[in-house]
Protein backbone atom coordinates (compact mmCIF):
# COMPACT_ATOMS: atom_id res chain seq x y z
CA UNK A 1 0.00 0.00 0.00
CA UNK A 2 1.35 3.43 -0.91
CA UNK A 3 1.94 5.54 2.18
CA UNK A 4 1.48 8.98 0.54
CA UNK A 5 -1.14 8.13 -2.07
CA UNK A 6 -2.65 11.26 -3.66
CA UNK A 7 -0.78 13.63 -1.35
CA UNK A 8 0.87 16.76 -2.71
CA UNK A 9 4.31 17.44 -1.31
CA UNK A 10 6.76 20.32 -1.61
CA UNK A 11 10.43 19.71 -0.80
CA UNK A 12 12.95 22.56 -0.57
CA UNK A 13 16.60 22.10 -1.54
CA UNK A 14 15.59 18.97 -3.45
CA UNK A 15 18.11 19.18 -6.31
CA UNK A 16 20.57 16.90 -4.54
CA UNK A 17 21.49 15.18 -1.27
CA UNK A 18 18.84 14.56 1.37
CA UNK A 19 16.16 16.63 -0.39
CA UNK A 20 16.57 14.64 -3.59
CA UNK A 21 16.26 11.34 -1.70
CA UNK A 22 13.09 12.60 0.04
CA UNK A 23 11.54 13.77 -3.25
CA UNK A 24 12.22 10.39 -4.92
CA UNK A 25 11.01 8.27 -2.01
CA UNK A 26 7.84 10.32 -1.55
CA UNK A 27 7.05 9.97 -5.24
CA UNK A 28 7.55 6.19 -5.03
CA UNK A 29 5.06 6.24 -2.16
CA UNK A 30 2.38 7.83 -4.33
CA UNK A 31 2.84 11.59 -3.82
CA UNK A 32 2.86 14.41 -6.38
CA UNK A 33 6.14 16.14 -5.62
CA UNK A 34 7.03 19.77 -6.20
CA UNK A 35 10.83 19.68 -6.37
CA UNK A 36 12.22 23.12 -5.46
CA UNK A 37 15.74 24.52 -5.22
CA UNK A 38 17.99 27.37 -6.39
CA UNK A 39 20.04 24.93 -8.45
CA UNK A 40 17.65 24.91 -11.43
CA UNK A 41 19.73 22.61 -13.61
CA UNK A 42 19.97 19.78 -11.08
CA UNK A 43 16.47 20.42 -9.76
CA UNK A 44 14.92 20.06 -13.20
CA UNK A 45 16.84 16.80 -13.69
CA UNK A 46 15.49 15.39 -10.43
CA UNK A 47 11.91 16.37 -11.34
CA UNK A 48 12.29 14.94 -14.86
CA UNK A 49 13.63 11.68 -13.38
CA UNK A 50 10.59 11.44 -11.15
CA UNK A 51 8.11 12.29 -13.93
CA UNK A 52 4.60 13.80 -14.15
CA UNK A 53 2.57 15.07 -12.34
CA UNK A 54 5.59 16.07 -10.26
CA UNK A 55 7.45 19.17 -11.37
CA UNK A 56 10.28 21.60 -10.65
CA UNK A 57 9.81 25.15 -9.34
CA UNK A 58 12.58 27.65 -8.56
CA UNK A 59 12.41 28.57 -4.87
CA UNK A 60 15.04 30.49 -2.94
CA UNK A 61 13.86 29.84 0.61
CA UNK A 62 15.29 33.17 1.81
CA UNK A 63 12.96 35.18 -0.41
CA UNK A 64 9.40 35.84 0.66
CA UNK A 65 8.41 36.77 -2.90
CA UNK A 66 9.52 33.29 -4.05
CA UNK A 67 7.33 31.67 -1.39
CA UNK A 68 4.35 33.75 -2.52
CA UNK A 69 4.93 32.63 -6.11
CA UNK A 70 5.25 28.96 -5.21
CA UNK A 71 2.16 29.16 -2.96
CA UNK A 72 0.09 30.56 -5.84
CA UNK A 73 1.54 28.00 -8.27
CA UNK A 74 0.78 25.03 -5.98
CA UNK A 75 -2.77 26.25 -5.35
CA UNK A 76 -3.43 26.63 -9.05
CA UNK A 77 -1.79 23.43 -10.23
CA UNK A 78 -2.62 20.98 -7.41
CA UNK A 79 -5.45 22.72 -5.53
CA UNK A 80 -3.48 22.70 -2.27
CA UNK A 81 -0.68 21.04 -0.34
CA UNK A 82 -0.55 18.21 2.20
CA UNK A 83 3.13 17.96 3.12
CA UNK A 84 6.03 20.39 3.25
CA UNK A 85 9.63 19.35 3.88
CA UNK A 86 11.80 22.33 4.81
CA UNK A 87 15.10 20.76 3.85
CA UNK A 88 17.23 23.49 2.19
CA UNK A 89 20.21 24.48 4.30
CA UNK A 90 23.84 25.54 4.12
CA UNK A 91 26.80 24.85 6.38
CA UNK A 92 28.14 28.33 5.63
CA UNK A 93 31.78 27.29 5.33
CA UNK A 94 31.78 27.55 1.53
CA UNK A 95 29.02 30.13 1.12
CA UNK A 96 30.33 32.79 3.54
CA UNK A 97 33.74 34.17 4.39
CA UNK A 98 33.60 33.39 8.16
CA UNK A 99 35.12 32.87 10.66
CA UNK A 100 32.37 31.00 12.49
CA UNK A 101 33.86 30.47 15.94
CA UNK A 102 32.24 32.28 18.89
CA UNK A 103 35.29 34.47 19.60
CA UNK A 104 35.87 35.77 16.07
CA UNK A 105 32.43 35.57 14.46
CA UNK A 106 31.99 37.44 11.20
CA UNK A 107 28.51 38.85 11.67
CA UNK A 108 27.69 39.05 7.98
CA UNK A 109 28.39 35.32 7.69
CA UNK A 110 26.35 34.67 10.84
CA UNK A 111 23.34 36.43 9.32
CA UNK A 112 23.74 34.70 5.93
CA UNK A 113 23.64 31.27 7.54
CA UNK A 114 20.56 32.19 9.59
CA UNK A 115 18.91 33.71 6.53
CA UNK A 116 18.91 30.36 4.72
CA UNK A 117 18.63 27.91 7.59
CA UNK A 118 16.26 29.75 9.92
CA UNK A 119 14.44 32.46 7.92
CA UNK A 120 13.99 29.91 5.12
CA UNK A 121 12.26 27.49 7.48
CA UNK A 122 10.18 30.23 9.15
CA UNK A 123 8.95 31.42 5.74
CA UNK A 124 8.33 27.82 4.72
CA UNK A 125 6.19 27.24 7.80
CA UNK A 126 4.31 30.52 7.21
CA UNK A 127 3.32 29.69 3.63
CA UNK A 128 3.13 25.96 4.36
CA UNK A 129 0.48 26.54 7.03
CA UNK A 130 -1.51 28.76 4.67
CA UNK A 131 -1.45 26.05 2.01
CA UNK A 132 -1.85 22.95 4.18
CA UNK A 133 -4.58 24.09 6.57
CA UNK A 134 -7.24 23.03 4.08
CA UNK A 135 -5.75 19.53 3.72
CA UNK A 136 -7.49 16.56 5.34
CA UNK A 137 -4.28 15.54 7.07
CA UNK A 138 -1.12 17.60 6.75
CA UNK A 139 2.46 17.50 7.91
CA UNK A 140 5.45 19.83 8.01
CA UNK A 141 8.85 18.20 8.43
CA UNK A 142 11.75 20.51 9.26
CA UNK A 143 15.27 19.25 8.66
CA UNK A 144 17.35 20.53 11.56
CA UNK A 145 20.61 18.80 12.50
CA UNK A 146 22.35 17.03 15.33
CA UNK A 147 24.06 20.45 15.57
CA UNK A 148 20.69 21.87 16.62
CA UNK A 149 21.04 19.90 19.84
CA UNK A 150 24.76 20.19 20.60
CA UNK A 151 27.30 22.97 19.96
CA UNK A 152 29.83 23.12 17.10
CA UNK A 153 32.82 25.31 18.06
CA UNK A 154 33.85 26.30 14.53
CA UNK A 155 30.37 26.38 13.00
CA UNK A 156 28.50 28.34 15.65
CA UNK A 157 26.14 30.05 13.22
CA UNK A 158 25.10 26.72 11.73
CA UNK A 159 24.50 25.21 15.17
CA UNK A 160 22.54 28.26 16.33
CA UNK A 161 20.35 28.31 13.23
CA UNK A 162 19.57 24.60 13.53
CA UNK A 163 18.76 24.94 17.26
CA UNK A 164 16.28 27.67 16.34
CA UNK A 165 14.69 25.37 13.74
CA UNK A 166 14.27 22.72 16.43
CA UNK A 167 12.47 25.22 18.66
CA UNK A 168 10.39 26.87 15.94
CA UNK A 169 9.10 23.42 14.98
CA UNK A 170 7.51 23.09 18.40
CA UNK A 171 5.92 26.57 18.19
CA UNK A 172 4.43 25.63 14.81
CA UNK A 173 3.20 22.28 16.16
CA UNK A 174 1.47 23.95 19.13
CA UNK A 175 0.09 26.82 17.05
CA UNK A 176 -1.50 24.46 14.52
CA UNK A 177 -2.92 22.27 17.30
CA UNK A 178 -4.41 25.31 19.05
CA UNK A 179 -5.94 26.59 15.80
CA UNK A 180 -7.28 23.07 15.12
CA UNK A 181 -5.47 23.00 11.79
CA UNK A 182 -4.87 19.45 10.51
CA UNK A 183 -1.10 20.04 10.47
CA UNK A 184 1.53 18.23 12.50
CA UNK A 185 5.04 19.65 12.62
CA UNK A 186 8.18 17.73 13.60
CA UNK A 187 11.93 18.01 13.16
CA UNK A 188 14.61 15.58 11.99
CA UNK A 189 18.16 15.82 13.26
CA UNK A 190 20.57 14.18 10.84
CA UNK A 191 24.24 13.68 11.63
CA UNK A 192 27.04 12.78 9.26
CA UNK A 193 24.99 11.93 6.17
CA UNK A 194 27.25 11.56 3.14
CA UNK A 195 26.09 14.29 0.70
CA UNK A 196 27.74 17.14 -1.27
CA UNK A 197 27.37 19.43 1.78
CA UNK A 198 30.46 17.63 3.08
CA UNK A 199 32.60 18.24 -0.03
CA UNK A 200 34.51 21.22 1.28
CA UNK A 201 35.11 19.56 4.66
CA UNK A 202 36.25 16.19 3.28
CA UNK A 203 38.60 17.34 0.52
CA UNK A 204 39.53 15.08 -2.40
CA UNK A 205 41.17 11.71 -3.11
CA UNK A 206 43.20 10.12 -0.32
CA UNK A 207 42.54 13.04 1.98
CA UNK A 208 38.80 12.38 1.58
CA UNK A 209 39.17 8.64 2.30
CA UNK A 210 41.15 9.45 5.43
CA UNK A 211 38.65 12.12 6.58
CA UNK A 212 35.72 9.69 6.12
CA UNK A 213 37.58 7.05 8.17
CA UNK A 214 38.21 9.52 10.99
CA UNK A 215 34.59 10.73 11.03
CA UNK A 216 33.26 7.16 10.87
CA UNK A 217 35.43 6.10 13.80
CA UNK A 218 33.59 8.64 15.96
CA UNK A 219 30.12 7.38 15.00
CA UNK A 220 28.73 4.59 17.21
CA UNK A 221 27.37 2.70 14.16
CA UNK A 222 30.79 3.10 12.49
CA UNK A 223 29.73 4.59 9.13
CA UNK A 224 28.41 7.83 7.69
CA UNK A 225 24.69 7.76 6.89
CA UNK A 226 23.02 7.84 3.47
CA UNK A 227 20.38 10.37 2.32
CA UNK A 228 17.79 7.57 2.20
CA UNK A 229 18.19 7.06 5.96
CA UNK A 230 16.82 10.56 6.51
CA UNK A 231 14.20 10.13 3.79
CA UNK A 232 12.65 7.14 5.58
CA UNK A 233 12.34 9.13 8.83
CA UNK A 234 10.73 11.98 6.87
CA UNK A 235 8.35 9.50 5.21
CA UNK A 236 7.15 8.25 8.57
CA UNK A 237 6.57 11.78 9.92
CA UNK A 238 4.85 12.85 6.69
CA UNK A 239 2.53 9.84 6.51
CA UNK A 240 -0.71 9.26 8.41
CA UNK A 241 1.10 6.56 10.41
CA UNK A 242 2.37 9.49 12.49
CA UNK A 243 -1.11 11.06 12.91
CA UNK A 244 -0.70 11.39 16.71
CA UNK A 245 2.86 12.74 16.55
CA UNK A 246 3.59 16.45 16.62
CA UNK A 247 6.35 18.63 18.07
CA UNK A 248 8.85 15.79 18.33
CA UNK A 249 12.36 15.32 17.02
CA UNK A 250 13.89 12.25 15.41
CA UNK A 251 17.67 11.85 15.38
CA UNK A 252 19.11 10.10 12.33
CA UNK A 253 22.75 10.08 13.32
CA UNK A 254 24.13 6.57 13.75
CA UNK A 255 23.98 7.04 17.53
CA UNK A 256 26.13 10.19 17.76
CA UNK A 257 23.69 11.94 20.09
CA UNK A 258 23.36 8.88 22.32
CA UNK A 259 26.41 10.06 24.21
CA UNK A 260 30.16 10.27 24.27
CA UNK A 261 32.41 7.41 23.32
CA UNK A 262 34.68 8.48 26.20
CA UNK A 263 33.55 5.67 28.51
CA UNK A 264 35.77 3.58 30.81
CA UNK A 265 37.39 0.69 28.87
CA UNK A 266 35.65 -2.67 29.35
CA UNK A 267 37.65 -5.44 31.07
P1 LIG B 1 23.33 19.58 0.06
O2 LIG B 1 23.77 18.32 -0.57
O3 LIG B 1 24.25 20.74 0.10
O4 LIG B 1 21.94 20.01 -0.61
C5 LIG B 1 21.30 21.18 -0.22
C6 LIG B 1 20.50 21.73 -1.38
O7 LIG B 1 19.88 22.96 -0.92
C8 LIG B 1 21.37 22.11 -2.58
O9 LIG B 1 20.75 21.72 -3.77
C10 LIG B 1 21.46 23.63 -2.47
O11 LIG B 1 21.63 24.29 -3.73
C12 LIG B 1 20.08 23.95 -1.91
N13 LIG B 1 20.03 25.30 -1.34
C14 LIG B 1 21.01 26.03 -0.74
N15 LIG B 1 20.56 27.25 -0.41
C16 LIG B 1 19.26 27.30 -0.81
C17 LIG B 1 18.26 28.30 -0.78
N18 LIG B 1 18.52 29.53 -0.27
N19 LIG B 1 17.03 28.03 -1.27
C20 LIG B 1 16.78 26.82 -1.80
N21 LIG B 1 17.69 25.82 -1.90
C22 LIG B 1 18.91 26.08 -1.40
O23 LIG B 1 22.92 19.32 1.60
P24 LIG B 1 22.33 18.03 2.36
O25 LIG B 1 23.42 17.37 3.06
O26 LIG B 1 21.44 17.27 1.46
O27 LIG B 1 21.49 18.79 3.47
C28 LIG B 1 20.08 18.94 3.44
C29 LIG B 1 19.64 19.46 4.80
O30 LIG B 1 20.05 18.55 5.81
C31 LIG B 1 20.27 20.81 5.17
O32 LIG B 1 19.32 21.60 5.86
C33 LIG B 1 21.38 20.42 6.11
O34 LIG B 1 21.74 21.44 7.01
C35 LIG B 1 20.75 19.23 6.82
N36 LIG B 1 21.74 18.36 7.44
C37 LIG B 1 22.60 17.63 6.69
C38 LIG B 1 23.53 16.81 7.32
C39 LIG B 1 24.51 15.96 6.57
O40 LIG B 1 25.35 15.32 7.22
N41 LIG B 1 24.46 15.92 5.25
C42 LIG B 1 23.57 16.78 8.72
C43 LIG B 1 22.69 17.55 9.44
C44 LIG B 1 21.76 18.33 8.80
P45 LIG B 1 23.14 24.68 -4.22
O46 LIG B 1 23.71 23.40 -4.71
O47 LIG B 1 22.93 25.68 -5.31
O48 LIG B 1 23.83 25.24 -3.02
Query: In this predicted model, what pLDDT tens digit does every residue of 27-70 receive, in sequence order?
Result: 999 999 999 999 999 999 999 999 889 999 999 999 999 999 99
- pLDDT for the residue numbered 261: 60
- Which pTM was predicted? 0.97
| pLDDT tens-digit map of 83-126 | 999 999 999 999 999 999 999 999 999 999 999 999 999 999 99
Q: What backbone torsions phi and psi does residue 135 show, to the nearest 5 degrees?
A: -75, 165
Which CATH topology does 8-197+225-252 take? Rossmann fold (3.40.50)
CA–centroid distance, residue 13 to ligand 1 (Å): 6
- pLDDT for the residue numbered 263: 67
- Pocket (CB within 6 angstroms of ligand 1): 12-13, 15-19, 37-39, 59-62, 87-90, 116, 120, 143, 145, 190-193, 195-197
State the closest ligand 1 atom to the C-alpha of 13, by its place in the atom list counted from 1.
7
**Known catalytic residue at 232:** no
**H-type alpha helices, 133-222:** 156-178, 199-202, 205-217
Cα–Cα distance between 66 and 238 in angstroms, integer? 24
Domains of the chain by residue range: 8-197+225-252
105: Cβ contacts below 8 Å, ≥ 6 apart: 99, 156, 157
Q: What is the mean pLDDT of residues 222-251?
A: 98
Report the percentage of the chain scoring pLDDT > 70: 97
For ligand 1, mutation pick of 89, 111, 188, 251 (most atoms within 8 Å of CB): 89
Q: What is the mean pLDDT of residues 8-16?
A: 98
> Other CB atoms closer than 10 Å to residue 107's CB: what's the count?
8
Question: Beta 183-190 vs 8-11: how paired, if at all?
Answer: unpaired
CA–centroid distance, residue 46 to ligand 1 (Å): 15
CA–centroid distance, residue 113 to ligand 1 (Å): 12
Q: What is the mean pLDDT of residues 134-161?
A: 98
CA–centroid distance, residue 116 to ligand 1 (Å): 10
State the closest ligand 1 atom to the C-alpha of 43, by its place in the atom list counted from 1.
9
Amino acid sequence: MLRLKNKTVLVTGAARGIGEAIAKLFYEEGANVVVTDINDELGKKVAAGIGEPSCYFHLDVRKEEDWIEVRDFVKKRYGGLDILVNNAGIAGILETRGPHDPENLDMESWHKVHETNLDGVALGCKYGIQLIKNSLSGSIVNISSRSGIIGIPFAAAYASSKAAVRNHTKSVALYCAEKKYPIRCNSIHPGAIYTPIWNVMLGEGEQRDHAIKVISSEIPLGVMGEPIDVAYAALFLASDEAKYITGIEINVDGGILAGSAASPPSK
